[in-house]
Structure formats: C-alpha cells, structure tokens
C-alpha cells in the first residue's frame, strides 16, 4: 500500500476471473489484463498524460524470494531502460508505489503497447506469407545484433517474447530482459545452464544441464556457451513460423537432445570434443532415436508457389539453408548474427543505415555486470533495486503532472 494520493489501485481480471491488483499513477486508467507468468503480470492501460496513448504495464512479482530472481528483476528494467532500437520494445518508465526500501514489494515497468505476440501470429489459422516470415526474422536478428554489440546475450528468445503490431507496416519488437546477461570472461565461466525455455535451448545448454546424464558423479558439469545460444533460438523460431509447430518439442532435457539429433543428425565430431561423461551420455541417448532430416520436417508443402518470391530469395531452399546454418549443433560452426543478417533469405531488408547500426562498435549497456558475478545478500540487492528505481523515477515525471 501507499499513502501517496497520486497513486490509485486498479483491478484487472483474466479469463478465469482471477483478480490482479495494480497500484499505479493516476495518469493510467482502463487497465485490462493481458498475460501472466512466473515473473510478472501484464496489463494494458490508457495514459491520460500522453494523449490517451495505450501502454503496457508489467507488474513484476516474486522478485525478492532469492538473489537470482532479484538480480533478474534488476537486469530487466535497467537493461531495457538503456535500449534505443526500433526492434526493441520502448521503455517508458519504471516505478514503485512503496516509499522506503524496507517496504519495497512491487516494481512496475511501463512500455509501449503492441497488439500481438508472435505466438498469436503463429497460432493463427492462416499460414504466414514468406515476406512476413523473412521480415520478422530480419527484425529479430537486428534487435539481437544490437544487444550483442553491447555484450548482452538475451538467453530467452521465443515467440511469446516477440511482439508485433496489427496496423500499418508489420513491425516486430523484442522484450523481456530478465534472463539477459552481460558477457565478460569471468561471467562466461559461471553462466547457468538453466536458461532459455526448453524447446529453444541449444545443444550446449541442453547438454550442460545436470539431469541429462545417467552417470552419477559428484562433479558438476556446465558447458560454456556464448552469444551463439541466441542464434539457435532464432533458428527454432524461424522453423516454427514456417511450419506452425515447435521444431524440437522435448518433454525433458533428455528428450530435447533426442529431438535435436533426430532432425539435425548425430554430431560425432562435436560430441568427441566434450567431457567424456557428457559424451557417453549424449551418444547413448542419440543412438536410441530414428533419424529424419530437416527437409522432411520443413517440406515443400510449406512453400506454395504463390507464397514464394525467387527474386527476393524467399524460397524453400533459402529458408532451409538459413535454418540449417543457425541450427548447427557445434556452436563454433554455427552462424553468427552478422552472418545470418547477410543470408539471402533476409538480406533484401538490409539498407545502409541498418548495416551501419548492426555492425557498430561495442556499446556501453549501462549495467554493472559485477552484480552478476557476486553473491550479494537479498537485503543488499533490495537496496540496490530500490535506489535504481528511484533514480529512474526522479529522472522523469512518472505522474505526468496529474
């Protein structure tokens, strides 16, 4: 609760009539439930202080139950607040109705509103034209390229974290920075394997998760990974946009590895480079599946002639070629974001301005990566989060003069 009269509590209801409370500045009215997840609840609202513009408000929850989740909350609003890219959701403000760090419970992020998630688009009964598939993947690559230029790995790319508009030219934007991470030599050695929603995890993450192995040892295995994890996830999303179905739909990490091998083949050379225990388990699981091929899964039936455009390389051949290069099991041989942007299936969207932007020098992300290297007490993290929220609050008029 808050004693500040400039805040007002609204209630939004989901389809099951569950009530969610939002305590927000009075400038925001007509709140409507949009979605709920483990880390937060999102509602749309009308901003009376900005020409009745529609916005999205995310109420972050459960962020003080542990230090990992608290750091995730901090990363989400700090990293997003520093972004300025047409394919990354626009940050508008962050605030808390609580007045002291001891009372801090709720953090709200205000963002621009977009009509649909990419999941909604994929689930629609009409097959996507390859012009839209190509453009949406290109825009995703541009957004992630911008992050990689800052040394940031997103680590949670999936259709529901990509949003699109319904009116005007089709535009796609990336959101949700809770799992994002700055890459430094120290951090790269310590990054958790428990990232990325299972169906979009690359092999180096799947194989780094403890429950994959049947051989019990006291040693903890975590395979090193890099920004190439984002490339794999985008390859999965591209395949899903074309077929309308998840490409690697494993029920657990063992089955996830088998689904990957089934469609992409057994990577004997890559497996030979792994720790012996991981390699034995990976080969044992791989030997139990019947192999198919990417051509079988993404067949020509998904490319009717009227939806292809050979002049712009929007064809079955080029789509499968890009997917296969982004889904290379060995990350050392997998496409980079820069290589994917130059691929014929998406390169027709390139222009000189975009090319300069996506190949820019490394940018300062404005986030202290040392927070991800240290195990700070939850109370200390809470103080850091409160001070950062208030710092951003004080840099803008969160009440809009109301």
Q: Do 141 and 129 contact (CB within 8 A), yes or no?
A: no
Q: Indicate whether 289 and 141 sit together in one domain.
A: yes
Q: What's 215's domain CATH number?
A: 1.10.510.10
Radius of gyration of the chain (CA): 22
Measured between its terminal Cα atoms, the distance across the chain in Å is: 19
Average pLDDT over residues 257-283: 90
Identify whether 189 is part of a domain. yes
Which of the two residues, 39 and 222, has the higher pLDDT score? 39
Q: Tell me the longest C-alpha to C-alpha distance in the chain.
A: 66
Q: Indicate whether 235 and 176 sit together in one domain.
A: yes
Range of the domain at 118: 114-347
Q: Do 35 and 42 contact (CB within 8 A), yes or no?
A: yes
Cβ neighbour number for residue 89 with a 10 Å cutoff? 23
Tokens of residue 192, six digits = 């958790």
Q: What's 52's domain CATH number?
A: 3.30.200.20
Average pLDDT, the chain: 87
Res 355: pLDDT: 55
Q: Indicate whether 266 and 306 sit together in one domain.
A: yes
Identify whether 266 is part of a domain. yes
Label residue 224 by pLDDT band (50, 70, 90).
Answer: low
CA distance 385 to 36: 22
Please count the structural domains in the chain.
Answer: 2
CB burial readout 112-126, b (16+ within 10 A) else e: bbbeebbeebbeeee
CA distance 44 to 148: 30
Q: Indicate whether 15 and 142 sit together in one domain.
A: no
Q: Indicate whether 330 and 191 sit together in one domain.
A: yes
Q: Indicate whether 286 and 386 sit together in one domain.
A: no
**317: pLDDT strictly greater than 50:** yes
Identify whether 364 is part of a domain. no
Identify whether 360 is part of a domain. no
Res 253: pLDDT: 87
Cβ neighbour number for residue 377 with a 10 Å cutoff? 9
Q: Indicate whether 233 and 84 sit together in one domain.
A: no
Q: Do 47 and 28 contact (CB within 8 A), yes or no?
A: yes
Identify whether 316 is part of a domain. yes
Percent of the chain with pLDDT over 70: 86
Q: What is the pLDDT of residues 117-165, one digit of tens each?
A: 999 999 998 888 889 999 999 999 999 999 999 889 999 999 999 999 9
Identify whether 400 is part of a domain. no
Identify whether 352 is part of a domain. no
Among residues 156, 176, 230, 372, the one annotated as catalytic is 156
Average pLDDT over residues 71-80: 91
**219: pLDDT strictly greater than 50:** no
Lowest mean pLDDT: which of 138-147, 203-212, 319-328?
Answer: 203-212
Q: Indicate whether 209 and 302 sit together in one domain.
A: yes
The upper half-sphere exposure of residue 182, i.e. CA atoms within 13 Å in the direction of its Cβ, equals: 21
Identify whether 12 is part of a domain. yes
Q: Indicate whether 310 and 228 sit together in one domain.
A: yes
CA distance 148 to 196: 16
Lowest mean pLDDT: which of 40-54, 225-239, 262-276, 341-355?
Answer: 341-355
Active site residue 14: no
Taking the model in full, what pTM does it have? 0.90
Res 114: pLDDT: 97
Residues 6 or more apart whose CB falls under 8 angstroms from that of 263 comprise 247, 248, 292, 293, 294, 297
Q: Indicate whether 141 and 89 sit together in one domain.
A: no
Q: Indicate whether 56 and 180 sit together in one domain.
A: no
**292: pLDDT strictly greater than 80:** yes
Q: What is the pLDDT of residues 331-362, one digit of tens each?
A: 999 999 999 999 999 999 987 455 555 555 55
Q: Indicate whether 244 and 141 sit together in one domain.
A: yes
Cβ neighbour number for residue 259 with a 10 Å cutoff? 19
């Amino acid at each position: 609760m808050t004693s500040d009269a400039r805040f007002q509590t609204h209630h939004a209801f989901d389809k099951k009539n569950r009530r969610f409370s939002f305590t927000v500045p009075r400038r925001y009215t007509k709140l409507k439930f949009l979605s709920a997840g483990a880390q937060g609840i999102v509602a749309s609202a009308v901003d009376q202080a900005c020409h009745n513009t529609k916005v999205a408000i995310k109420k972050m929850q459960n962020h003080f139950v542990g230090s990992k989740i608290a750091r995730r909350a901090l990363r989400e609003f700090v990293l997003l607040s520093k972004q300025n890219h047409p394919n990354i959701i626009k940050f508008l403000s962050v605030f808390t109705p609580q007045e002291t760090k001891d009372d801090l419970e709720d953090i709200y992020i205000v963002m621009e509103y977009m009509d649909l998630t990419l999941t909604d688009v994929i689930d629609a009964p009409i097959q996507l034209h390859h012009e839209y598939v190509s453009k949406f993947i290109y825009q995703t690559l541009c957004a992630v390229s911008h992050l990689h230029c800052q040394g940031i790995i997103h680590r949670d790319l999936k259709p529901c974290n990509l949003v699109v508009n319904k009116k005007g030219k089709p535009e796609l934007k990336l959101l949700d920075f809770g799992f994002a991470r700055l890459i430094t030599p120290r951090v790269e050695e310590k990054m958790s394997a428990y990232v990325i929603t299972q169906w979009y995890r690359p092999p180096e993450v799947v194989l780094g998760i403890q429950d994959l192995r049947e051989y019990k040892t006291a040693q903890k295995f975590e395979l090193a990974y890099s920004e190439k994890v984002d490339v794999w996830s985008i390859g999965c999303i591209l395949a899903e946009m074309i077929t309308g179905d998840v490409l690697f739909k494993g029920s657990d990490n063992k089955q996830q590895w088998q689904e990957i091998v089934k469609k992409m083949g057994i990577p004997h050379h890559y497996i030979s480079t792994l720790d012996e225990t991981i390699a034995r388990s990976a080969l044992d699981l791989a030997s139990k599946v019947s192999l198919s091929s990417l051509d079988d899964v993404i067949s020509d039936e998904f490319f009717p002639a009227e939806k292809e455009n050979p002049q712009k390389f929007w064809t079955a051949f080029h789509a499968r070629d890009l997917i296969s290069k982004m889904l290379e099991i060995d990350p050392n041989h997998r496409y980079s974001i820069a290589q994917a942007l130059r691929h014929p299936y998406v390169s027709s969207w390139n222009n000189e301005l975009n090319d300069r932007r996506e190949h820019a020098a490394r940018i300062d992300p404005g986030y202290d990566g040392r927070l991800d290297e240290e195990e700070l007490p939850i109370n200390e993290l809470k103080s850091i989060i409160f001070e950062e929220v208030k710092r951003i609050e004080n840099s803008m008029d969160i009440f809009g003069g109301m």
